[in-house]
Amino acid sequence: MIQSKKMMDGKDFTTDPLPTNIVGASETAYYLVKRYRLPLIMLFHVGVFAAVFYASLVVRFESWVPSHAQNHFWLGMPLVVSVQLLVFYVMKNFHGWWRYVTFADLVSVAQSSAIATLVVLAIDYLAIDDFQISRGAVLIDCAFTILTLSALRSVWRFWDERLPVKQRVRRRPALMLGSSPDVAKLAHLVNSRPSLNCRVIGLVSKQKVRSTRFSDISVLGHLGEMSALCKKHGVQTVYVPAGSLEAKAMRDLIDSTREDNVQVNVVPELNRMLEGGTRIPVREVRVEDLLRRAPVELDQIAIRDMVAGKTILVTGAGGSIGSELCRQLIDFGPDRIVMLGRGENRLYQINRELCRDFEGSTEVLPVLANITDRRRVAEVMSTHRPVVVFHAAAHKHVPLTEGNAGEAVINNVLGTKIVADMASEYGVEKFVMVSTDKAVNPTSLMGCTKQIAERYCLALGAQSKTKYVVTRFGNVLGSAGSVVPLFKEQISRGGPITITDPRMTRFFMTIPEAAQLVVQAGSMGRGGEIFVLEMGEPVLIQDLAKDMIRLGGLPANSIDIVYTGIRPGEKLYEELYYGDEQSLPTAHEKILTAFHREFSLQETIESVDELLNLAYGSDAAIRMCLKKLVPEFGAIEADGSAVGSESQSSLHTVVF
């Protein structure tokens, strides 16, 4: 939870951010109440327990309490209240917020009251006669305590959600997409959060259904009537549960409500909301919600066996994929995550994030190192003895590597060779290399160097006890230097958006999906495989640009799109397999595997050594050597696709 600090009367208060409706002198009182909330709540309960116990005594003796019973009350009241206070504290009944009370909280109140009553009766039974308490009053007290506290807590929530008090800010009406009981529960959870300043007044089904009512929330219509429903009920916010709407339907919904200034927001699914405590991470629609395929949730059952209690090394840990790998791996309880990177600031940031947000026994160790430094990599391997290595370090930007051929070769080829060699030498069980679809029929220096790095790892794996596997995927949405941040920047400046060619398509996936594929591949791989996520249909880059304009709340024609021509190393269509790579299904329906062409380790070493000897020479010499090693490198047909793109048709047969 993000926290803020305020200085009040010379004191430092660390609390939740101050609500916007609390200003002026009440600000100090607000922070004082927040800081001393638990003692104040316990003090309030002391008064309630004492008052309820006396009321129980009055009921027990039918309004007239004899003097001996009053004496027993004053003797027994400290005991009853103390026991109740202790039991309620142990059962954590003082720790929740009454405005978020649920049926489970009321059950907990009943349990705590029953336990306290049994304890009091046991003590009373064992105590001397002068200390006896009316057992009938104690039983009545149990029932009255349950009723009183349940009523107080429920009234607080009822006040917060329902009562139309003029002095309070009126919540804006909202609609929620869906017509199932879970969606109705989700709507009630939204209504229980005043911070959202919205109240769901009805549900909207995706298809025409019979009118249904869930408590006080009804299904008002179907998705095709959304615009009319918003106008009829004065709605300015529509909530869409995450993953409930396909990309095309989401785009249509945004288009149909834009003219009415209706904001479409995404809320987590019910189970995630229940895990979220008092805060609901409502967000605006993001570009990944508009992917031309449903996001893939990978089966991670086998991952824990690979990771739990072991030392894991992640290279390129400061990058988009490397840092996400660290976030996902830590959930599976490794003994240690060694985060290797040469970018000091980015490595510091991911280390700080993991240490702040994740609690547990996992040791997080940032290591500044360059993968091209053999002695340093050997030192890291010998010191930490990783069991699994995820190799994500690479130069990945096509235009930059085109102008810096030597650096691309040194980092992507030499760096991979060194890390792979050290993994074999120090007995790493599994080595997972992060590759790219640009390694297939490469037309760029980056893609060509990744192809050679793939070749070396797989050839080495044929001779080593270490299991080497490769993962390939398309472009990653939102990663550093990718097209999404570029388009956002161009839109924020008012345009134009620059696209190299209107026909250009790419496969896209989200950063978490990419990291999941890499981790899943590590758990599934037996060595020698190339794993590929089933990525659906390729996306036209110009459609992606139009989606981002739409998400910015702008008319489609408000931002110009300019076509600049294909850059060196680019091709119109990306591929995930070579034509002669045998693709087969795996145990996971969304992952395919390609068994690579056989490469002799000795020939591969000779080829890599030849290339590395030219790394500090001219770019022309490097390109000639790459062309020799990867014949398809650099050849582009008249339509902009790579030579060898006949494998594109076979790819469609296998993948789609």
Active-site residue list: 438
How far, rounded to the nearest angstrom, does the alpha carbon of residue 274 sit from its chain's CA centroid?
15
Q: Are 61 and 242 in contact (CB under 8 A)?
A: no
CA distances from 37 to 15, 30, 40, 95 (A): 11, 10, 5, 9
**Distance, CA of 651 to CA of 644 (rounded, Å):** 12
As a whole number of angstroms, the distance between CA 63 and CA 257 comes to: 63
Contacting residues for 5 by C-beta, under 8 A, at least 6 apart: 12, 13, 14
* CA 352 vs CA 295, 341, 355, 586: distances in Å: 29, 14, 5, 37
Chain CA centroid to CA 355, Å: 17
Long-range CB contacts for residues 117-124, cutoff 8 Å, separation at least 24: 117/141, 117/142, 119/83, 119/87, 120/79, 120/80, 120/83, 123/79, 123/83, 124/76
Cα separation, 487 vs 498, whole angstroms = 8
Is the CB of residue 608 less than 8 Å from the CB of residue 614?
Answer: no
Q: Is residue 585 helix, strand or coil?
A: strand
365 has which bridge partners?
338
Q: Where are the beta strands (DSSP E) in 381-525?
A: 388-391, 430-434, 467-472, 475-477, 497-499, 505-506, 508-510
> Using CA atoms, how far apart are residues 239 and 253, in angstroms rounded to an integer?
11
Q: Which residues are CB-neighbours of 163 under 8 A, at least 6 positions away?
A: none
The CB density around residue 593, as the number of other CB atoms within 10 Å, is 22
d(CA 443, CA 642): 7
Buried b vs exposed e over 172-199: b needs ≥16 C-beta within 10 Å?
Answer: ebbbbbbbbeebbbbbbbbbbbbebebb
Cα–Cα distance measured from residue 52 to residue 43, given in angstroms and rounded to the nearest whole number: 14
Give SS3 for 261.
coil
